[in-house]
Structure 1
Amino acid sequence: MDGLDKKLQAQLAFLIEIDKLKLVERKTKLIHENRLENVAEHSWHIALLAIVLHTYADQPVQLDKVIQTLLIHDIVEIDAGDTFAYDTSGYADKEEREQKAADRIFGLLPEEQAKQMMEVWYEFERNESAEAKFATSLDRLQPIIHNYMNDGDSWQTYQVTSEQVKERMKGVEGSSKKLWELTQYIINDSIESGKLMK
């Protein structure tokens, strides 16, 4: 690739590097197969959730920005790994690990693109805009849909309680009334059916 201009070389280096996201496993199993989901699959799925469900956002959102946010926000997990939502000890150094990863991975891009992606990532992490808040809601909703559909597999494997799930899902309430109703339905039905511990 030495014959290519430096900007295109940098962009290709980034695109090749982010393929590693397919290797990072999450703790949630797929709905239709007995294996763990990887982070790239998760990112793709929540981007589609945004396309299908964006009309339920309580505040108007720019769909393209929500999708961009959802596709970018977990790229840092190539280096930082996926921190399981209910792993409190994993959160102790999560911010530091992810910042270091963001600097390295986004730093592969040409300066202007690196800056743009970093800004999108920061906005999501700080939950600063209607788009970031809605993206966060979808990021949290998708795993509970998976757990609901696969009989609470990761909830049971990691002994997650309904109180933990309710606490984790609070952000949905302020972002979308309709998706909050869905969240409550899934939690309540999961408790009643024994998929989720009380």
Structure 2
Amino acid sequence: MKEIEQTLEFLVEVEKLKDILRQTRPVGLNRRENSAEHSWHVCLAALMLKDYANESINIDRVIKMLLIHDLGEIDAGDMIVYQAETDKQKALEQEGVKRLLSKLPDGHGEEYLHLWREFEAGDTAESRFARAIDRVPPLLQNLYGDGHTWRAHDINKEQVFSLNSRIGEGSGDLWSVIEGKLNRAVEKGILK
């Protein structure tokens, strides 16, 4: 069937996400994480932390957002979040997502493009929670990896607290715990 062929072509194309290296290293490993690993990790984190969302959420919708939110990096590449939230980078990512999703049959990509845009806007309960969860793995990787990415990119505590405080928009309880860990990292000199 033509629809299956198109979907398989899409699946082959998104394999490229495994070759997009992020700035962070998985905890305990001396290599950079790829974006596909990040996508898996944030989806698992969302499942495990769903009960701590500030609002009632549809976890299936959150997971869909998290699975597609980094697809644009196949074309745009990955940048450290403290430098990536620019109009130019977002436009490159959106064009990449559009290109990839256009490979799906019969307009099926429109649903996922809508979810990508919803994630980026952060104006629904699901997108606020998804955006909060998206920040957790890189923070844990830095907290349990001697601040490797923060040091390599000269990221200071004001940047880390300012950007990551949005976790509280999706989960106040989660932000409270993460904020405590960040404060301890400052005390230990991991985050300056």
Indicate the larger mover: 51-60 or 109-118. Answer: 109-118
The equivalent residue for 1:164 is 159
Q: Which amino acid aligns with 2:146?
A: D
Q: Given the alignment of the two structures, is residue 108 of structure 1 paired with residue 126 of structure 2, yes or no?
A: no
- Whether the aligned pair in 2 keeps the contact of 1:140 and 1:168 (CA below 8 Å) is no
Counterpart mapping for 1:41-56 below 5 A: 41-56=37-52
The equivalent residue for 2:94 is 99
Q: Shift in Å at residue 100 of structure 1?
A: 1.4
CA distance in 2, matches of 1:182, 1:22: 30
Q: Which amino acid aligns with 1:143?
A: P
Q: Shift in Å at residue 39 of structure 1?
A: 0.4
CA distance in 2, matches of 1:134, 1:175: 4
Gaps of 5+ in 2: none
Q: Shift in Å at residue 58 of structure 1?
A: 0.9
Q: Shift in Å at residue 9 of structure 1?
A: 1.1
Q: Shift in Å at residue 92 of structure 1?
A: 4.6
- Aligned mate of 1:141, from 136, 141, 153: 136
The equivalent residue for 1:57 is 53
- Whether the aligned pair in 2 keeps the contact of 1:27 and 1:37 (CA below 8 Å) is yes
- Whether the aligned pair in 2 keeps the contact of 1:24 and 1:38 (CA below 8 Å) is yes
The equivalent residue for 1:23 is 19
- Whether the aligned pair in 2 keeps the contact of 1:83 and 1:91 (CA below 8 Å) is no
The equivalent residue for 1:124 is 119
Indicate the larger mover: 76-85 or 42-51. Answer: 76-85
TM-score normalised per structure 2: 0.96
- Whether the aligned pair in 1 keeps the contact of 2:39 and 2:67 (CA below 8 Å) is yes
Bigger strand share = 1
CA distance in 1, matches of 2:31, 2:56: 36
CA distance in 2, matches of 1:60, 1:49: 17
SS in structure 1 of the partner of residue 55 of structure 2: coil
Q: Shift in Å at residue 132 of structure 1?
A: 0.6
CA distance in 1, matches of 2:129, 2:7: 28
- Aligned mate of 1:67, from 36, 43, 63: 63
- Whether the aligned pair in 1 keeps the contact of 2:23 and 2:79 (CA below 8 Å) is no
- Aligned mate of 1:86, from 79, 82, 85: 82
The equivalent residue for 1:181 is 176
TM-align CA RMSD: 1.2
Q: Which amino acid aligns with 1:137?
A: A
Q: Shift in Å at residue 82 of structure 1?
A: 1.1
Gaps of 5+ in 1: none
Q: Shift in Å at residue 188 of structure 1?
A: 0.3
Q: Which amino acid aligns with 1:194?
A: G
CA distance in 1, matches of 2:111, 2:168: 29
